[in-house]
Structure 1
Amino acid sequence: MIPVVLLHALGSSARTWETFAAGLPRTSIALDLPGHGTGPPPHAPMPLPEPPARPAEPVDFDWAVVEPVFRTVRTPDPAWWAALADITADTLWLAGGPTSHVDQSRIHDAAARMPSARVVEVPAGHRIHSEAPDEFAAVVVPFLTE
């Protein structure tokens, strides 16, 4: 069976997946992205038109990753959106509902471009797997075992 790759959110690390991965009926690989956890250092950041302010209190990740992530989210490459139609694998998109900072219409738009994608809303905000772990598993585990 193909392993599941688990990616964390900005400011998090692969550790965020430990509980979920332990209950999966298949192999999983949780990665630390550059500047997070044990991940490699990030590439030099590119400035944003309105970079977010660095918080006064310490953060447990490399702040240099914030600008490139925000830039990519704000201005995604149009070729990326066009290429979504080429993904024919069954795909599950999770939407965190109105309390998520992610524009929910963009999730639905991305899924609509993919021939075998569906969206399930779990109204828990952006970090569904850690804020609503039982609901997350109830949706994801059956999808991974179909």
Structure 2
Amino acid sequence: MEKRLVELGSGIRIGCRISGPAGGPPMVLLHALGEQAASWSGVEERFASLFRVVNLDLRGHGDSDRPGTYSFELMREDVIDVLDIMDLRDVVLIGHSMGGAVAYMVAQAQPGRIARLVVEDVPPPFPRTRPVPERPEGVLGFDWAVVPAIVEQVNDSTRRWWRRLPDIASPTLLIGGGPTSPVPQDLLVEVAGLIPECALVTIPTGHNVHETRPSEFADTVLRWLDGTGIFPNHRPAL
């Protein structure tokens, strides 16, 4: 695995973990709020057996810069800049929680670039009263300022990001965590009905599906990708 800091036109540096065959189809992973690229370690190696995996630390997290300004929109632009700089096309984009919300926005903005979209247990922001938690003591692996900024956006009374879900042209897999997840699963059903080509699968293990059941998560993603024809030249051993 290679670690790289990608400097964007904005001057922000984004940390990337890169693994898998250099000529493999690209896969980009986006983590949850307060997490970092290492949160995908349970599935990263499996995916890297077939894909060129680019696993990002979103701004304010992990090895990426901590500029103090945070929003879904800024994270979306960071991801698109990384795709531009690394010249990544026909990307399989996978996002969890906050990273999933960013992934929706990237797929909306870059319909010709995102070949397949996988979102883990999150709809776009919706009306709710999620409080800002207290900062834990000690050194954190992320900038605490990102938490109130993102919590303010997820408590969205307008559901403005939902209006563009029908614009997502990529075949999409939505993986729900089932009844023990804090995410209302009926909203995932609604999302699946708004994206033109979307499959919804439930793995009933809570919000952190890829960490709690990594093998089942990876199996689900790879079988779905195979079924969409992402591997035109061979059928991988799944």
Is 2:65 the partner of 1:40? Answer: yes
Counterpart CA distance in 2 for 1:141 and 1:63 is 34
Alpha-carbon offset, residue 53 of structure 1: 2.0
TM-score scaled by length of structure 2: 0.55
Q: Partners in 1 of 2:42 and 2:130 — Cα distance?
A: 38
The one-letter code sitting in structure 1 at the alignment partner of 2:29 is L
* 2-structure distance, mates of 1:45, 1:17: 22
SS in 1 for 2:145: helix
How far off is 1:128 after superposition?
0.6
Q: Write out aligned runs for 1:36-115 (5 A).
A: 36-44=61-69, 50-56=131-137, 58-75=139-156, 78-115=159-196
Paired with 1:123 and 1:114, the residues of 2 have a C-alpha distance of 22
Give the match's secondary structure for 1:63.
Answer: coil
Instruction: Percent identity, please.
Output: 37
Instruction: Determine the structure 2 residue equivalent to 1:145.
Output: 226
Equivalent position of 2:30 in the other structure: 7
Q: Report the alpha carbon displacement of residue 87 of structure 1 after superposing the two structures with TM.
A: 1.1
Shift in Å, 1:86: 1.1
**Residues in 2 aligned to 1:65 and 1:137: alpha-carbon distance in whole angstroms:** 29
Map 1:14-33 onto structure 2 (within 5 A): 14-24=37-47, 25-33=50-58
Specify the code of the residue in structure 2 equivalent to 1:53.
Answer: E
CA distance in 2, matches of 1:111, 1:121: 12
Give 1:128's match in structure 2, choosing from 202, 209, 215: 209
CA RMSD of aligned residues (A): 2.4
Q: How many Å separate the matches in 2 of 1:65 and 1:103?
A: 23
Q: Which runs of 5+ in 2 are unaligned?
A: 1-23, 72-128, 228-238
Question: Would you say the 8 A contact 2:68–2:143 is kept in 1?
Answer: no
Are 1:100 and 1:126, in contact at CA under 8 Å, matched by a contact in 2?
yes
TM-score by length of 1: 0.85
> Any idea what SS the aligned residue of 1:23 has?
helix
Q: What secondary structure, in the 3-state scheme, does the structure 1 residue paired with 2:38 have?
A: helix
For residue 50 of structure 1, report the CA deviation from its aligned partner.
Answer: 4.5
Separation in structure 2 between the aligned mates of residue 129 and residue 86 of structure 1, nearest angstrom: 27
Q: Which residue in 1 is equivalent to 2:100?
A: none
C-alpha contact 1:42 1:64 (8 A) present in aligned 2: no
Residue ranges of structure 1 left out of the alignment (5+ in a row): none
Pairwise CA distance, 1:49? 9.2
Aligned residue type for 1:145: D
Code of the aligned partner of 2:28: V
Instruction: For residue 94 of structure 1, report the CA deviation from its aligned partner.
Output: 0.7
Q: Deviations over 1:9-58 (max 9, x none)?
A: 11111012234121121222111111111122144369x99532223455
The size of the alignment, in residue pairs, is 145
Q: What is the CA-CA distance between 1:61 and the residue it aligns to?
A: 2.2
Query: 70-79 or 2-11, which moves further after superposition?
Result: 70-79
